[in-house]
A and B are shown apart, each in its own frame.
Chain A
Amino acid sequence: MSMTFEKLKEIREETLNRMNLRGFPSDKPNAPYRWSVAICMETSCMSSKSPQIKQRLLDLIVRDGKENEIEVVGTGCFGLCEAGPIVIVRPGDTFYYRLDVEDIDRIYESHLLGGEPVRDLIYPESITDDGYLSYFEIPFMAHQERVALRSSGHIDPEDIREYIALGGYEALYKALVEMTPDDVIDVITESGLRGRGGGGFITGRKWRATQASPGDEKFIICNADEGEPGAFMDRSILEGDPHSVIEAMTIAGYAIGSDQGYVYVRAEYPIAVERLEKAIGQANDLGLLGANIFGTGFSFNLEIRLGAGAFVCGETTALAASIEGRRGMPRSRPPYSADKGLWGKPTMINNVETFANVPYIILNGAEAFKKVGTENSPGTKVLALSGKIKNVGLVEIPMGTTLRQLVEEIGGGIPNGKAFKAVQTGGPSGGCIGPELLDTPIDFDRLAEIGSMMGPGGMIVLDEDVCAVDVARFYMDFIVDESCGKCTPCREGTKRMLEILIDITEGRGDETSIPRLERLARTTELASLCGLGQTAANPILSTLKSFRDEYEAHIKEKRCPAGVCKALTNNLTKDD
């Protein structure tokens, strides 16, 4: 099928009319439904039975013949996964949480048939004296701003028409028909968008470099390898709004002159892969992918490649090697991917979230995008909040939000009355940020200044029960397992650092331990071939910065102040 703007608008109107309960009023609502029930269908909620809840509700609806009154939508993640499985009833955005399958019967009878919400199933914090707050008014959502996750939770990710209803593929139309490739790159550059995969590289500059690189054949790759422990931002985008990535990659293809894209997805993400496959199929069927898109003569083909299951395969050159069927080992640069990437051809690699921002920027302009965020880090960042924090889940915050706002307000603070100890940003490549730095704004440059890094977006909160040396050991253990073994400093140096950390936690540390760690850290950082080794020592260096006294307690007094290191528990004297 070939797609035209008229057809796109037609689909949009048609679909919007039946979506009017979801907070997107249309011009001529035909209000077919009295209620719209959104049920989260992403990995976390699905593992706590959201598919069974959905099935049960559909059965009830069919039993009573209420198909025309009640709409049931399986959506992407709402963010507060910790309260899952989440069901939201509209109108009203009533937020039901941690439901059992039987609970849906009560919601059906009382709320959907009787108009009376079931108070004891509603998320407690949304209950007020005279009613309850909508999902979007709860404290968790207060500081959030949704750009990359703009459609997640509103649409059924398996239905391209719902994506189109919210303006989907209009950015593609605009780019292909109204803009030249240079215009597209200019807007992306002006927007100041920076790579969300961790490095923060200016996206427009990367697109420009690949466009300028000579070659008939070029490739676009979406990096969805997401190997950082505890992170699931990219998975969530692919599961909740896969078309945003497909549309963006197509736009990127047009901009740099590529007709072939690959999404390199972590093999451990079966739901994301399935949704993406479905979405690519639907886009192909509607002529939004494939040959001659919008009759412009521009063609773009998109395929999925499964990851090889190693953290290092997220590194661009290792990723390309892996797609080519070789061992996923990074190579030294130059040549850069923009000149010689996949199969030696110019290649542009962006992260999932980076791509998810692109349609928004094309459609709304660079200025709209820059309204949010800080000067050098415009826009928002999706973060996966986990660890010792009340509101575990996925958030999207304006860049510049402070760590304190994130932890105390959005995150709801530390549970069980414990004290905050640190937040680990950037996973094994990042740093452990202590309480004295909590007022640091979350943006690329400010986090780097304090020796951490934005990283892909995992934020792990640690409380007083956690031992700083043990945290450093945990990450070094991960790195030692994940080092590809190619270059000397990373292969040998990380192992030695791990050995020293184990010695310290087991009471064998001595006065040489810290200096040796610092020396190895420096060499590994300066001499390693790829980002994995270059950042491998960050957890050590940052914990040494904020918690040096804890290292010293382990070494000099053979004591673990947090009472974590088992070999030292005989000497346990918990600090108050």
Chain B
Amino acid sequence: MIKLTINGQKIAAEDGMSILDAALAHGIEIPALCHDPDLKPESSCRLCLVEVDGRPWPRVACGTPVRDGMVVETNTPEIREIRRDILQLLLDNHPNDCLTCQKAGECLLQKYAYEYGVTFRTHEGARRGGERARFTDTSSPYILRDESKCILCGKCISTCAELNERSVLSFAGRGFETKVAADRDETLEASTCVSCGRCVAVCPVGALIDRRVREKKIRPWEADRQTIQCKACEYGCEYEVLEKGSERVIRPLSPSEGRPLCLKGRLFVEAEVSSELRTPYKKEETEKGRKFVRTTWIEALELDGILDRIAHTESESDK
């Protein structure tokens, strides 16, 4: 056991824990955009910087393990100033689209900008992906991508790579031109993406959006929300049901404890609880590369064989 002080409060933590986790366990929240409890720390957003032992060089709370006797300050004026600057740098390179953004309400950038009083501002400088908000990749019926909203936290890349055979996403380009690319910078449709939705579930901003939720125009704060488990296989991945009026849609929740998430499971849950059965799509290899094609529910859920068998058995017993 390790004893340390955070914001004057003496706390106990386990060896190997990060400052961020130790703080969180004691109700002290440290702003963090790239941290995810299920992924190894990338420490790329730099928002979680804290003061350690009074030293002038701040350390990232998400990537610094606790040490006995450590004295941490998470909210000094200097630290707040750095965080404000980082948020401003992000907003200066971000479309002013919260009004119509699907992510509004649960967007972490929005949350911290509010908390720190940082606003969008007009300026002459360069922008990634242009000024106007738009989806830059609409090739997938399940996922909408908007590179201009991406804050390059890297979470989508890490979560996709948790499953070796997926590993679709990676960083491409460098410096200011860095972006997240699917395979060799292809559309999600042309790439090997299996539409599992892991990346969408971890994205802290509106850069990756669940298209089928968006199409119903339901934002989380106006919906009744409920977590359910997928019954398609023994992993039991978690999905969230969003209910607004007579509409009911679902979306995958961040996978933990080795759960994979998959498209079949998603469609299974959709079939089970959504208010309307909307056309499912599957990816096919064609001569012109990978394409999304409409499919039937029976095929999407791979039920054809089973249904045939049931029908056959029942007609036999009817005789």
CB distance from B176 to the nearest CB of A (A): 4
Binds A, one of B166-174, B270-278, B291-299: B166-174
**Do B42 and A332 touch (CB < 8 A)?**
yes
The A-contacting residues of B in range 16-43, CB under 8 angstroms, are 41-43
Comparing A273-281, A415-423, A482-490, the segment that makes contact with chain B is A482-490
Specify which of A333, A488, A495, A519 is in contact with B151 (CB 8 Å cutoff). Answer: A488
Closest to B40 in A: A331
A332 to B40, CA, bound (A): 11
Q: Is the Cβ of B125 less than 8 Å from the Cβ of A499?
A: yes
Nearest Cβ on chain A to B210's Cβ, whole angstroms: 26
Q: How far is the CA of A482 from the CA of B175 in the complex (A)?
A: 6
Cβ contact within 8 Å between B65 and A334: yes
Decide: A488 and B45 in contact? CB cutoff 8 A.
yes
Measured in the bound complex, the distance between the Cα atoms of B93 and A494 in whole Å is 13
| Structural contact, B57 and A526, CB atoms closer than 8 A | yes
Q: Please, which residues of chain B bring their CB within 8 A of the CB of A486?
A: 42, 44, 152, 154, 171, 178
CB neighbours (8 Å) of B60 from chain A are 332
Interface residues of B in 107-129 (CB under 8 A from A): 124-126
Q: A499-B126, A526-B58, A527-B46 are in contact. Are A485 and B174 (CB under 8 A)?
A: yes
Task: Tell me, yes or no, whether B92 is within 8 Å of chain A by CB.
Answer: yes
Select A492's contact among B43, B57, B176, beta carbons within 8 Å.
B176
Across the two chains, which residue of chain B brings its CB closest to A490?
B175
Chain B contacts for A485, CB-based, 8 A: 152, 171, 173-178
For the complex formed, measure the closest distance between the CB of B89 and the CB atoms of chain A, giving whole angstroms: 4
Most buried by B among A327, A520, A523: A523
Q: Which of A304-333 contact B (CB under 8 A)?
A: 310, 327, 329, 331-333
- A381 within 8 Å of B (CB atoms): no
Interface residue? B261 (CB, 8 A): no
Give min CB distance, B19 to chain A, whole Å: 12
Residues in B whose Cβ lies below 8 Å from that of A523: 82, 85-86, 89
A329, A493, A527, most chain B CB atoms within 10 A: A527
| A487/B170 in contact, CB under 8 A | no
Given contacts A334-B64, A488-B86, A526-B57, contact A496 B125 (CB under 8 A): yes
- A488 in contact with B46 given A334-B63, A496-B89 (CB within 8 Å): yes
User: Does A491 lie at the interface of the complex (its beta carbon under 8 Å from any beta carbon of B)?
Assistant: yes
Residues of A within 8 A of B41 (CB): 332
A375 interface residue, CB < 8 Å from B? no
Q: Judge whether A332 and B92 touch: CB under 8 Å.
A: no
Q: Does A137 contact B (CB under 8 A)?
A: no
The contact size tier of chain B is 35 or more
B6 within 8 A of A: no
In the bound complex, do residue B44 and residue A529 qualify as a contact, i.e. CB atoms below 8 Å apart?
yes
Given A491-B178, A495-B125, A495-B126, answer yes or no on A519-B65 (Cβ-Cβ < 8 Å): no
Q: Decide if B4 is an interface residue (CB 8 Å cutoff).
A: no
The answer to whether A480 has its CB under 8 Å from any CB of chain B is yes
Chain B: minimal CB distance from A411 (Å)? 34
* Binary flags per residue of A226-241, CB closer than 8 Å to B gives 1, else 0: 0000000000000000
Asked if residues A332 and B175 are in contact (CB atoms below 8 Å), the reply is no
Chain A residue with the shortest CB-CB distance to B178 = A485
B175 contacts across to A, CB distance below 8 A: 480-485, 491, 494-495
Question: Chain A contacts of B218 at CB under 8 A?
Answer: none
Give, as a whole number of angstroms, the nearest-CB distance from A337 to chain B.
15
A 144-158 to B, binary, CB cutoff 8 A, 1 in contact else 0: 000000000000000
The docked-state distance in angstroms from the alpha carbon of A489 to that of B49 is 12
Whether the pair B174, A520 counts as a contact (CB closer than 8 A) is: no
Whole-angstrom distance between the Cβ of A451 and the nearest chain B Cβ? 15
Does B90 reach chain A (CB closer than 8 Å)? yes
Across-interface contacts of A483 in B (CB, < 8 A):
174-176
Interface contact A495-B176, CB-CB below 8 Å: yes
- Residue of A480, A494, A496, A519 ringed by the most chain B CB atoms within 10 A: A496
CA distance A492 to B86 in the complex (A): 9
Residues of A within 8 A of B85 (CB): 489, 493, 519-520, 523, 527
User: B interface, by DSSP: helix, strand, loop or mixed?
Assistant: loop
Give bound CA distance, A328 to B276, whole Å: 47
A528 contacts the other chain (Cβ, under 8 Å)?
yes
Question: What residues of A have a CB within 8 angstroms of the CB of B154 in the complex?
Answer: 486
Which residues of B are found within 8 Å of A529, using beta-carbon distances? Answer: 43-44, 46
Whether B89 lies near A526 (C-beta < 8 A) is no
A480 — nearest CB in chain B belongs to which residue? B175
Question: Which residues of chain B are near A488, meaning CB under 8 Å?
Answer: 44-47, 86, 89-90, 151-152
Chain B residues whose C-beta falls within 8 Å of the C-beta of A493 in the assembled complex: 85, 89
Chain A contacts for B126, CB-based, 8 A: 495, 499
| B47, B65, B93, B175: residue with the most chain A Cβ atoms closer than 10 Å | B175
* Contact for B176 among A310, A329, A480, A519, CB less than 8 A: A480
Q: How far is the CB of B78 from chain A (nearest CB, A)?
A: 8
Complex: how many Å from CA A486 to CA B58?
Answer: 18
Question: Measured between alpha carbons, how far is A484 from B92 in the docked complex, in Å?
Answer: 19
Chain A's nearest CB lies how many Å from the CB of B15? 13
The complex places the Cα of A527 from the Cα of B80 at a distance, in Å, of 12
Q: Which of A490-511 contact B (CB under 8 A)?
A: 491-496, 499
A167 to B175, CA, bound (A): 47
Binary interface encoding of chain A residues 321-361 relative to chain B, with 1 for a CB under 8 A from any of its CBs, else 0: 00000010101111000000000000000000000000000
* List of B residues within 8 angstroms of A528 by Cβ: 46
Interface residues of B in 53-68 (CB under 8 A from A): 56-58, 60, 63-65
Q: Which of B56, B63, B64, B152 contacts A491 (CB 8 A)?
A: B152
Shortest distance from the beta carbon of A558 to any chain B beta carbon, whole Å: 18
Measured in the bound complex, the distance between the Cα atoms of B34 and A486 in whole Å is: 11
- Report chain A residues within 8 Å CB of B82: 523, 526-527
CB distance from A568 to the nearest CB of B (A): 19
B246 → chain A, closest Cβ, in Å?
42
Alpha-carbon gap, A176 to B42, bound state (A): 41
> Which residue among A481, A487, A494 has the maximum number of chain B CB atoms within 10 Å of its CB?
A487
Cα(A520)–Cα(B126), bound, Å: 16
Assembled-state Cα–Cα distance A492/B43 (Å) = 16
Q: What are 10 pairs between A and B in contact, CB < 8 Å? A: A310-B174, A327-B171, A481-B174, A488-B152, A489-B46, A492-B89, A495-B125, A523-B86, A526-B82, A529-B44
Pairs of residues from A and B, 5 with the lowest C-beta to C-beta distance, nearest first: A485-B178, A332-B43, A492-B89, A483-B175, A332-B63
A residues apposed to B, CB below 8 Å: 310, 327, 329, 331-334, 480-489, 491-496, 499, 519-520, 523, 526-529
Q: Which residues of B contact A (CB under 8 A)?
A: 41-47, 49, 56-58, 60, 63-65, 82, 85-86, 89-90, 92-93, 124-126, 151-152, 154, 170-171, 173-178
Other than A484-B174, A485-B177, A499-B126, give 13 A-B pairs with Cβ distance below 8 A: A334-B63, A480-B176, A481-B175, A485-B176, A487-B43, A487-B46, A488-B89, A492-B176, A519-B85, A523-B86, A526-B58, A527-B58, A529-B44
